[in-house]
Structure 1
């Protein structure tokens, strides 16, 4: 009887905790933020499919094959260097291009894993750049002016922002730099950042079918 009562109290406590988090995320705009960025994924996917359909049917009949052939003619070392720099410094090139690049290799999922690991490590390097170079006033001002909105969101949502940035089309490296700038705990970023690797496999389910 006593154990049953304790379980009921625990369930009630968990339910109350869930409601508390739910109200907080709703009032702080997290749900709107997540939905907006998720819709961006859907819109981008639709735009890619639409563009490929139009190009292949009306302009370049071998468009996909030409793109893949061009990507595979690029020097591997050069691609990895450009990709690593891009993932470390503010995500200058969307990683989706590199997923397409990996799609036609003999072991594409091995390449995907490597892409994910490099991006994950690049996020940690971005954190360290923000942590150490953010002490310089010019660097701090530039980061705040360009990505200051993430500071408030990081303080509100913590690791959830890192997970959303890792999975959705947000500047992941910029979020990591801001995390370093505001001294967000590195061990937490290391854990939450693992979701970055998952992104490559999730997006590959879509991109591999197209290309």
Structure 2
């Protein structure tokens, strides 16, 4: 059996009792970064074998992992933060398990875009999650398409590319489109900057940007 286990996006207390029980019960834990996951596991005194599972090795090892699961092993899949599969590795292994009729169970838990969306103040009755924008190829086409999106839009971005992305949004969506940028969610220096794209761009352009970023943008009116 394979468990998909969400982990805290910042504050280590944001993990469920059930997730801790599962992590203590499995035979093997698959971790996007074993060093990052070790911090969480040590905090909760969980001592289980760890093996790397990330975008650079997942194609090579999914069949081997599936064989172990078929043989009766139980595994838990973690990413560095949040729910595996949401802009993080998980899909290929889950698909292989489904194909081989191996039971998969995804626990509910932390993911960054939900609190960012809810506290943005923008409509959330209908929204679309787009993850990370294309870096180069297809970026212009993607932005033209999203400029016509009527639903609230949610994106992930790195701190190094935040200002450039906000600049691109201004160019394609218009400077007056409302947005909210959430940074360092659940951590000591959490910040939720709301306003027009121009206002939020100018705010982050005036200082160094650190931490994980979620951008929520108003749909076209």
**Shorter-normalised TM-score: what interval?**
under 0.3
- The structure with the greater share of residues assigned to strand is 2
- The structure with the greater share of residues assigned to helix is 1
Normalised TM-score (structure 2): 0.23
Larger Rg: 1
Normalised TM-score (structure 1): 0.24
